[in-house]
Structure formats: C-alpha cells, structure tokens
Amino acid sequence: MTSKPLIAITGASSGIGEATARAFSAAGHPLLLMARRLDRLEALGLPNAVLKKVDVRDRAAIADAVRDAEALHGPVDMMFANAGIARLGDIAKQPPEEWDEMIDINAKGVMNSVHAVLNGMIARKTGTLMMMSSIAGRKVYPDHTVYCGTKYFVHAISESLRAYLAPHDVRVIVLSPGIIDTEVLDHVKDETTLANYKANKAAIGGGISADIVAQLILDAYQLPQRAIVQEIVITPTRQTY
C-alpha cells in the first residue's frame, strides 16, 4: 500500500479525467480509474492504478470497483465524478434518446458515483467529492437545453451535499469549466450546432488545455481538509459568456 490516499476518477480515459489522473499520479497517489474504454485507461500506463471498465449508469459496477480498489489501496479520499457527455442540439429536432443519455450519464451517473463513497467518507469524517458541472451549470446557452439541465442538477446536488456533509468534515467542490480542449464534442450530431460552437470557440482564440483544469483540481484537493474551494470556475481568458 502506498502512503498517499486513493483517488477515484470516472471518465478517466480522455480529456479532463485523463489529465487529472496524470496529475494525481505525478503527486504520488494510487488511483482508481473508471471508463468504458479500458484500452485507453491501460494506455495511460500509470503506476498503482486500478483500472475498471465501468459505465457510470451501472451503480453496482461503480460500488464493486471502489471495493476492489479500496482492498488494495485503502479508502477513497477523493471521488472525481467527472464522466459526462454533451449531446448538444436543437431541442425541437433532437431525438429524446439523446436527452435520456445525458440525464442518465451526467446526472444519475454522478449520483451513482457519490453513492459508492458517501457513507465511507461520513464514517471516516474525511474525504472530498469533486463534482463535474460546467459554466453551462451556471448559465444557459443555445442548443444546450438538456445538457444545461444536467449541469444545473450537478450544481444543485453539490450545494445540498456540501451543506449535508460539512458537519462530517467532508468537502464538496463543484467544478465549472468553460471551453476546454477535449473530445467532449466529438459526438455532437447536429451540424449547425457544432458549426456555431466551433465559430464561438474560434472567436475567443480556442479552448484551453485539460492540464490546467487538472492542476487546479490538485491544488484545491491539497488544501488542508478544514479549507475548501467551494467552486472552481475556469475558462479561457477571452471567454466571458
């Protein structure tokens, strides 16, 4: 067993989750990395990393993965509920199956991730929940209707969980990035929506690296347990909307 505590990350196979896995690994933490693409988790080649093919819609699979990793590395000290998808599109034309997918992964998947560690953190009177929202969890944007709904959900549950968990010395941090360069828009099918997003992104000089977000997460985590950065809002400097 390594001396630093175990960090669990959902959606660790690309983007912000992957960058965060690398940052915490470099800081000496053992990791539980979860995603559907196991090959991408393996390709990271990180030491002391338990890799699990997990779909966050499967509540039992997350709990099983946490139990297996904790048997090797001790309790999860931070759960980064990061896995998410952005099926942006014109709400009147979008197939409702895409609404379901976002709600199931971005909203219910986050609750499933919290469920796997919540009572352990309460019992130990320590721990951190790092909740992935977005600036789209603070403001609405065109063609983001259900995506914004799921991210407002994350903001709401994070505020509630923070109040509930504060007397137990468990921290709840909500993360609200702007445009970060990742694979998140690779699955948008609405071509007009995608073209508008890309034009807005180009107009502000592009997004910023996931490594910047990962460093902020590490910095916030490393504060003493009695101190909390309640929300992290990080955008490209030119992104003001």
Beta strands in the chain (DSSP E): 6-10, 31-35, 49-53, 76-81, 128-132, 171-177, 180-181, 208-209, 231-234
* Binding map of ligand NDP across residues 87-116, x = CB under 6 A, - = no contact: ------------------xx----------
Out of 134, 158, 193, 239, the residue judged to bind ligand NDP by CB under 6 A: 134
72: which 2 tokens? 């090797």
- 91, amino acid identity: I
Q: CA torsion angle for 209, 232, 136, 65 (degrees, to 10)?
A: 80
Does the footprint of ligand NDP cover residue 238 (CB under 6 A)? no
Out of 5, 6, 11, 76, the residue judged to bind ligand NDP by CB under 6 A: 11
Does the footprint of ligand NDP cover residue 83 (CB under 6 A)? yes
Give the binding range for ligand NDP (CB under 6 A) out of 72-80, 91-99, 121-129, 181-189: 181-189
Name which of 169 and 190 has its Cβ closer to ligand NDP: 190
173: which 2 tokens? 């941090």
Burial class (CB in 10 A: 0-12, 13-18, 19+), 23: buried
Give the binding range for ligand NDP (CB under 6 A) out of 4-12, 89-97, 116-124, 226-234: 4-12
Count the residues of the shown chain that bind ligand NDP, applying the rule CB under 6 A: 31
Q: How far apart are CA 130 and CA 127, in angstroms?
A: 10
Least distance (Å) from ligand NDP to the CB of residue 17? Answer: 5
Cβ neighbours for 240, distance < 8 A, ≥ 6 positions apart: none
Name which of 106 and 128 has its Cβ closer to ligand NDP: 106
Does the footprint of ligand NDP cover residue 214 (CB under 6 A)? no
Least distance (Å) from ligand NDP to the CB of residue 126? Answer: 25
Out of 95, 183, 198, 219, the residue judged to bind ligand NDP by CB under 6 A: 183
Least distance (Å) from ligand NDP to the CB of residue 26? Answer: 18
Out of 4, 57, 59, 155, the residue judged to bind ligand NDP by CB under 6 A: 57
Out of 28, 37, 142, 205, the residue judged to bind ligand NDP by CB under 6 A: 37
Q: Mind giving me the DSSP string for 185-211?
A: TTT---HHHHHHHHHHHHHTT--EEHH
First to last CA, the chain: 45
Inter-CA distances, 45 with 34, 69, 176, 229, Å: 14, 17, 28, 30
Q: How far apart are CA 165 and CA 133, in angstroms?
A: 19
Name which of 1 and 202 has its Cβ closer to ligand NDP: 202
Task: Summarize as ranges the residues that interact with ligand NDP (CB under 6 A).
Answer: 10-17, 35-37, 40, 54-57, 82-86, 105-106, 132, 134, 177, 179-180, 182-184
